[in-house]
Structure 1
Amino acid sequence: MPDVPLALGPDDAGEFLYEKGVVLAREGEEAQVVEDTVRGHFRTFAAGVPDRVRRLGPAGDRSGVVRIQVSDPGEGDAAGDPAVTGALRALAAVEGRTGRRMVSRNHVVHIAVNACPGDEPVPVSRDARPNPAVAEADGEPGGDAARVLVVDTGLMHDYRDYPPLARTQGDAQVAECDDDGILQQYCGHGTFIAGLVAAVAPHTDITVSNALNDAGAVLEHEFGEKLFDAVDAGGWPDVLSLSAGTTNGRTDGLLGVDAFMRELRGQHTLLVAAAGNNASATPFWPAAYADLPGYEDAVLSVGALRADGASGACFTNHGGWVKAYAPGERLTSALTGFGTPVPYVYQHSTYDTCRYGFSYPCTCHHPRHTGVLSEDGASAKPDQVMFEGLAQWSGTSFAAPVAVGMIAAHMTARGVRDPRAARRELLDDVDEFVDVRGAHRPALLPPTWRPVRVPPAPTARPR
């Protein structure tokens, strides 16, 4: 997001990114209360500072939030934003009296391969097969096929060359390659996800929205509106697959998606959301809505199992708010380049050991590659690879659509029309469980998924 001044938060840790100099409030009377309170705060504690509090306009018709500027976004660096922190503190007493949240940072919501991923897609051999493999399905899907909406980065131009996606519809991935013909980071993310759903549940109507096309990142005030736009385009689906979110240091959700989540609760749609890849128990939203009262049936949060299925992947978020785990490490699905190989240059280097302290051969350090953003700087030559259709990728981004596929397949196999009922039945029928950091959770294992046995990684990075 090169044109948006950003800061790291909260003040003492870089857990999330947010827009500098701006806070969010609900439109109407609450926005006015926020403006007046923040203006009074700055006049009290920052005498002589010009009146800089002003409303920047609503995010849209349905998300119900407005941006309020509280300082010059160009001031200071990215280490934090004292003006935004001051605005939040100024409203704390008001919120305490009303019992209602009134103000928020404007967080960056990003696809759940992580805001700064150590894992990027890996090429596979020409004769590789999808994993999970494409399930067998008799005949053509009927008119009662489950409808799945994937809100992500869109579809690559050649996605229909992958037979399981021949019936998939949706928005195009914009700007797949740069001026040198190099595949851009995150491109293919939405296609990869759609391929996983289609493999696990072939008789499913899949639509892919490119609402997160801009490198998989969007500001919170736009996120809720984009979700509304995505469901408005084709009606509320049976299952909404979302592999994006953010932490915010709170336990009560995101102000920018509050209106969408409240409307979701009254629909029949089931939101299946990725739990995030920060190896943390901190709630990652919207996935963590699964733990809030009233959303138990409406939201399923999904963490990632490691490649052998033995436990949670090193990177997966965890905690009581993560309700199930599915394979999410070293999955194989459609990316791009069917018939025409496409080059890709790694942006991030792998690590010498697991960054989260695990001892198994995880994707933190295997397979080795050096990225453009390597700490070695200009002396390190980044690795370039070619993609020719399928690829291997890891993340809770991909565990979530595996769970989506299992729910859709259950709906088809059992003739269940209610996706929330299908979710309950599926979890009740699970006979595999996994212990992840002290939590005993269902393991959603597709019949066609194959555990991947990875040999120990080399101890030193080749140069």
Structure 2
Amino acid sequence: MAPQRFREQFDQIQRSMPDVPLAMGPDDAAEFLYEKGVVLARDGEEARVVEDTVREHFTALAGLDAGRVRRAGPETNRSGITRIQVGDPGEGTGGDPAVAHALRSLRAFEGRAGRRLVSRNHVVSIAVNSCPGDEPVPVPRTERPNPAPADAPYDPGSAVGVLVVDTGLMADYRSYPLLAHTRGDLQVKECDDEGVLCQYVGHGTFIAGLLAAVAPNTDITVRNTLNDAGAILESEFGEKLFDAVEEGGWPDVISLSAGTSNGRTDGLLGVHAFMEELRARGTLLVAAAGNNASATPFWPAAYADLPGWEDSVLSVGALRADGEHGACFSNHGGWVKVYAPGERLTSALTGIETPVPYVYQHSTFDACRFGFGYACTCQTPRHTGLLSEPGDAPAKPDQVMFEGYAQWSGTSFATPVVAGLIASHMTAHRQTDARVARKALLAANTEYAEVRGAHVPALLPPTWRPVPVGPPDGAA
């Protein structure tokens, strides 16, 4: 069964996509979300093969309506993907037999073709079982960011271009000095009708602040591709990635703290065209490995392990606050190529001009939800969340006030730390190729951490302050 927080987040994302019925997969096991009743295929001949094969398969089976199989458009786009409706999406979060049978019907064709022809339409997100790993915690204005700002000047002539594809910037982000040279899209909606911060608002601003702290000589652009609860359908995501890079030109580095698993080892059909274009460019994609505490590949980060993308994609896992071991929530495995601090980092969440309230959405747990024994963010600091309590429960959700800084955890935030270290290396060594800088940085690195018994490369910013971690409150 799906874990508590996954179900809470499912409801949150479903509300942000009221016209898109969603399901949990595979088989309600809560590894990913996808659009009910719809599959994806490549444009042209492959879409026709998928449509005809599914219709023939459904005709031979009782209980499946072959008449529902039809194109759900668009016919052409830069991602080269067509949506095909294969069933009635209906209501609820349960199984989706139409999509399951549609995928099964193409197995023989895929075997002969040697590649995938059909896919679910997954939800790509910064939330649910991806990023972030917890909810933000207020930090006093007197506390310094962590990592602290590096002592390096900003030079517009040599600044490294970094694109952050995420939620938008907070309206008063320029009140945070480190973001003086940052530009991009604003968050569409920051607060609800009661003036309370919406969930995930500030995610992109927090990431930009981390980048600017680690690498001050950067020109950071933030695109609000993931404004709606930090989620977007795979069928739209590839197109939005093209939009993000084409608006200002291909940057040196892309920092992406979003993705999804899909139960496969060959990538996402909906972003494949973008990934092919990325490979042909000089841009380096630094991508979050996700927060499922799983070895299952998480895309697009796991492209770092596919032949042909080794140089153009770097996948990033998160270390706990002391930097010695992996954070409880971090994905792991051979496809995760590097780890960086990602637990309880401090950066800008909002501007400092106007304090703003936030109501916690998720309750903390009595024990680590992933079975770890240290004082992880699953358990501390304690708070009661709105979505975790039944409608008639007497407990009230906790409310806090943000006045600029926050502490936040997730592979979402280890990712811009690594992107910043690569940008800083480019500046220090007058390197103009981010992929070459990535190789040189990893080759010179001497730090390692332990993640589930494996010794892995750990990139630790010079200005990052490790925090000792002990047992949970009340434990021996």
TM class by shorter chain equals over 0.9
**Corresponding residue of 1:282:** 296
Q: 2: CA distance between counterparts of 1:427 and 1:375? A: 45
Q: In 1, Cα distance between the equivalents of 2:435 and 2:454?
A: 23
Please state if 1:437 is matched with 2:452: yes
Aligned to 2:95: 80
2:467 aligned with 1:452, yes or no?
yes
1:337-363 Cα deviation digits (max 9, x unpaired): 412110000000000011111111000
Deviation per CA, 1:410-452: give whole Å up to 9, x if none.
Answer: 0000001000000000000101011212332210000000002
Alpha-carbon distance in structure 2 between the residues aligned to 1:376 and 1:454: 32
Do the aligned residues in 1 keep the contact of 2:176 with 2:351 (CA within 8 Å)?
A: no
Change (3 A) 1:238 1:310: same
Show structure 2 runs of 5+ residues with no match: 1-13
Residue in 1 that maps onto 2:73? 57
Alpha-carbon separation, structure 2, partners of 1:285 and 1:234: 24
**Inter-partner Cα distance in structure 1 for 2:414 and 2:76:** 31
Instruction: Measure the CA separation in 1 of the matches of 2:66 and 2:338.
Output: 51
Contact 1:352 1:459 in 2 (8 A): no
Question: Shift in Å at residue 49 of structure 1?
Answer: 3.4
How big is the shift at 1:453?
2.6
Please give the residue correspondences for 1:64-103 in structure 2 after superposition, counting only pairs within 5 Å. 64-74=80-90, 77-103=92-118
Q: Which residue identity is paired with 1:222?
A: E
Q: Which of 47, 57, 62 is 1:46 aligned to? A: 62
Check the 8 A contact 2:34/2:123 in 1, yes or no. Answer: yes
Match of 1:126 in 2: 141
- 1:188 matched to 2:212? The reply is no
Which of 304, 316, 326 is the equivalent residue of 2:340?
326
**RMSD, aligned CA:** 1.6
Contact 1:245 1:284 in 2 (8 A): yes
Structure 2 match to 1:36: 52
- Percent sequence identity over matched residues? 74
Distance in 2 (alpha carbons) for counterparts of 1:281 and 1:287: 12
Q: Are the structure 2 counterparts of residues 424 and 116 from structure 1 closer, same or farther at C-alpha, using a change threshold of 3 Å? A: closer
Give the structure-1-normalised TM-score: 0.96
Matching residue's letter, 2:439:
R
Which position in structure 2 is the counterpart of 1:110?
125
Does residue 258 of the first structure (1) align with residue 272 of the second (2)?
Answer: yes
Counterpart of 1:317 in structure 2 is 331
Change (3 A) 1:323 1:113: farther
Alpha carbons of 1:59 and 1:212: their partners in 2 closer, same or farther (altered >3 Å)? farther
Matches within 5 A, 1:351-366: 351-366=365-380
Residues 42-70 of structure 1 show CA distances to partners (whole Å, capped at 9, x for unaligned) of 00012683511010112762010010000
Q: How many residues align?
A: 458
Greater shift, 394-403 or 368-377, is seen at: 368-377
CA contact (8 A) 1:113 1:397 kept: no
Q: Give the structure-2-normalised TM-score.
A: 0.94
Where has structure 1 moved over 4 Å in runs of 4 or more? 115-118
Query: 1:7·1:19 contact (CA, 8 Å) conserved in 2?
Result: yes
What is aligned with 2:307?
293
Which one is further off, 280-289 or 115-124? 115-124
Letter in 2 for 1:103: V
Task: Tell me, yes or no, if structure 1 residue 25 matches structure 2 residue 41.
Answer: yes
- Say which is worse superposed, 293-302 or 118-127, in terms of deviation: 118-127
Q: What amino acid does structure 2 have at the position aligned with 1:410?
A: H
Q: Please state whether the residue corresponding to 1:435 is helix, strand or coil.
A: strand
Shift of 1:254: 0.2
